Structure 1
């Protein structure tokens, strides 16, 4: 179990104990105190205020944990992209296709889809790919749609851009 799970487990336990405490304090406040027990009403009110502020603190901590998790995921994506760019730039001619193939494996493209993806990266149109592969235009369109779906890309330009962006110099 990692630290995040322990924190969440602790927050749930703390929240349940606060609810029980508030129920007990509400019971104390609703039962009329006798003359000598009036200070208990003040103490119960103060304790209830502390419990409510604790819930607010738990809510804030929970929101911060969710935000940190999102930021961590974004950082992992940026680090992955930078590592990929660094690997490509070490030897652009040789490493480009190696990285492209590795990425296509991560997307779980079939061998046919990989071959079509390479032709797309080389700038071939659907008609040209159909001619080179000896397939119908509709078949090529279906296979490219599958490639874009598996890679979470919206089309040819975004697909090509994904691979070429690491090779471009930074904007000034």
Structure 2
């Protein structure tokens, strides 16, 4: 069992106290000290040894608890990894559905890119910045997307793709 520095310090301290008390008890016993004094010395010996035992027990319990927490954390990480993989797979499948729908609507590559950025929630100004075009161009492309898709604006466009998730 590996101990931390502070644990070792207190175990060593209690061990030294126990040894000194045992030595003192033996010396007092040989000198035939009064019974009440021997009882005090015996109590200190028992308390010192009990303290060492208790400290070792506490360290052992904490180590077991830490091991349990470590196992729980590993299990949680494993579940999280599995969830992330499922999410990546679902994300890829959903992206394929979106790409297929944009293809079915016969959108140009530029319109497809604008459509994806609209679905991500970017404003016309932000899309223009990302694509390094003018905002007016983005507005025209968005209008073409709505016309080709038969939808009436950004909200209907986004809702068309997200509607299946709400059912």
TM range (shorter): 0.3 to 0.5
Calculate the TM-score normalised by the size of structure 1.
Answer: 0.45
- Bigger Cα Rg: 2
Return the structure number with greater relative CO, CA threshold 8 A, min gap 6.
1
Calculate the TM-score normalised by the size of structure 2.
Answer: 0.46
